[in-house]
Amino acid sequence: CWRLIVVAIVVLPLLWLVDRYLILFAPLLIALLLTGLLAPALRWALALRLNRTLATLVVLIAGLAVVGGILTLVINQLIDGFDDLRNSAEAGVLRIEDWLRGPPLNLSDADLQAAITQGQAWLNENTRQLTQAGLSAVTGTVQFLTGFILVLVITFFFLRDGRRIWTYLVGLLPERARASMAYAGDGAWRTLSGFVRATLLVAFIDAAGIGLGLAILQVPLAVPLAALVFLGAFVPIVGAFVSGSVAVLVALVDTPAEGVLQGGGVIKALLVLGLILLVQQVEGNVLQPVIRARR
């Protein structure tokens, strides 16, 4: 018990510092993850007998190019399909209005207009709060750019001089504690690196499975949605939920047509939801335990 108390005395102030200076600690943690992901690529580059600094720059730029390529693909596909998606969304809204007018709700046009009026009134009343939220978003964007630059700089030095930095930090400890701390640190680093690489592989399989299923179900924007699933897999808890929700929403508002697979609607959305749940269950209960166990 007294050891738990000592650990709490050390950990709680540390957590307070992390929360207080998150703009510094978050880039540090993200850089650690990226270093674990890019370390194998750096070893391959060093095997080509490149200078270590040059090899680090090449690996870092290549990693940025891959992420930038994925984001560019998503954005371009969304821009190309925006008009069709907007038309589908408008048709979907009309279908929802027709459903609200029918049983079991049987809402009248006056009821729908009253709901719209209430929504507009709420929007007018909360304009100030929404404006403040917009200003907070601008501030958040500045912090994001600052953090992004810090991540790049820290990742570069972790890749190039990570071993030297760790050796220096261990050397600051009392001599009798150095060997055990070095051993623990090496084990923790192997675990972290394996976790990041396993997450990358699982994310790729997840995106490939969902993307193939969306293509079979003839859901619009299947490729960018699959790329969004791939990126969302790296965001814990909410990433898979958000990316899956977007795919279901696109299937729901797609233009209706004859045949289940030819248009959108509730049935298509339920099929997409079932696909996503199936892939994520297989990924979470079969693939992740097997892949992570071998890392």
pLDDT, tens digit (0-9, with 9 covering 90-100), for 228-237: 788 777 776 6
pLDDT, tens digit (0-9, with 9 covering 90-100), for 226-283: 887 887 777 766 677 777 788 887 777 765 555 555 666 677 888 888 888 888 888 7
Q: What is the mean pLDDT of residues 289-294?
A: 74
What span, in angstroms and rounded, lies between the C-alpha atoms of 68 and 171? 39
What span, in angstroms and rounded, lies between the C-alpha atoms of 159 and 216? 41
pLDDT, tens digit (0-9, with 9 covering 90-100), for 3-52: 899 888 988 998 888 888 888 888 888 898 889 888 888 888 888 888 88
Burial, 277: exposed, middle or buried (Cβ in 10 Å; 0-12, 13-18, 19+)? exposed
Residue 137: predicted pLDDT: 44
Per-residue pLDDT at 133 exceeds 60: no
**Which two tokens mark 114?**
């009253």
Output the average pLDDT for the chain: 79
Q: Are 254 and 265 in contact (CB under 8 A)?
A: yes
Model confidence at 217, in pLDDT bands (50, 70, 90)?
confident
CB within 8 A of 176, min separation 6: which ones?
Answer: none
* DSSP string for the chain: -HHHHHHHHHHHHHHHHHHHTHHHHHHHHHHHHHHHHHHHHHHHHHHTT--HHHHHHHHHHHHHHHHHHHHHHHHHHHHHTHHHHHHHHHHHHHHHHHHHHSTTT---HHHHHHHHHHHHHHHHHTHHHHHHHHHHHHHHHHHHHHHHHHHHHHHHHHHHHHHHHHHHHHHTS-HHHHHHHHHHHHHHHHHHHHHHHHHHHHHHHHHHHHHHHHHHTT-TTHHHHHHHHHHHTTSTTHHHHHHHHHHHHHHHHSPP-SSTTTS-SHHHHHHHHHHHHHHHHHIIIIIHHHHHHT-
Residue 135: predicted pLDDT: 47
Q: What is the mean pLDDT of residues 106-126?
A: 69
Per-residue pLDDT at 131 exceeds 50: yes
- For the ranges 95-104, 118-127, 196-205, the maximum mean pLDDT occurs at 196-205
